[in-house]
Amino acid sequence: MDKASLRRRLLSSLSVFEGKEKESEIIRETLLSLPLYRSAETILAFAPLSSEPDISPLLSDPRILLPFITGEGTMEFGKGRLKRNSLGFLEPEDRRREEYKEAIMLTPLLGADRLCHRIGRGKGFYDRYIEENGYRLFKIGLAFTVSIVDEIPVEDNDMALDMVITGDGSIFKRKGTDISTDAVDL
């Protein structure tokens, strides 16, 4: 299945999925149980859309930085009061980039597979950011169970995640990822 068709299918499934609240809670609890998360100095997160797991209860954590899109069309991370941008996403109003040494990146997605490939909304912001900064990131995708598919079509510019946490509490870890968890290593 091509990416455009897969995106349409996933958006359709997510629009009628009734387990968002329950699965969001499970995702948050699973995330909070990870020693890696608890010990992180910096966490790159996102203000969730209605089709994404609700991590908003975690956003008050002072370690959290949220994405914003620069005038040059790149993604950066900062803090502050949120406002809706022209793409419909909430982002820090002052748009001042915060520096960090290394971070956990909580990554939104429409779909993921058990090999930790993701498909987003098609703008490429996360892929480009990961390509440039991946050496200092541990990338965790957060996915409802209806977002897990057998295979994500992967292109050269698509960046894999290190781990995916699902709405039933499952954890998929990318093969070769050096992290001590109870994760499934596929």
Which pLDDT belongs to residue 179?
Answer: 59
The pLDDT value recorded for residue 178 is 61
Confidence of residue 151 (pLDDT cuts 50, 70, 90): very high
CA distance 61 to 124: 27
Give residue 107's pLDDT band: very low, low, confident or very high (50, 70, 90).
very high
Q: How confident is the model at residue 33 (pLDDT cuts 50, 70, 90)?
A: very high
Among candidates 32, 44, 10, which has minimal Cα distance to 145? 10
The answer to whether residues 68 and 45 touch, using CB atoms and an 8 Å cutoff, is no
What mean pLDDT is predicted for residues 40-49?
A: 96
Backbone φ and ψ of 82, nearest 5°: -95, 150
Q: What pLDDT was estimated at residue 89?
A: 85
Q: Which of 122-126, 157-161, 165-169 has the highest mean pLDDT?
A: 165-169
Predicted model pTM: 0.92
What pLDDT, on a 0 to 100 scale, did the predictor assign at position 185? 34
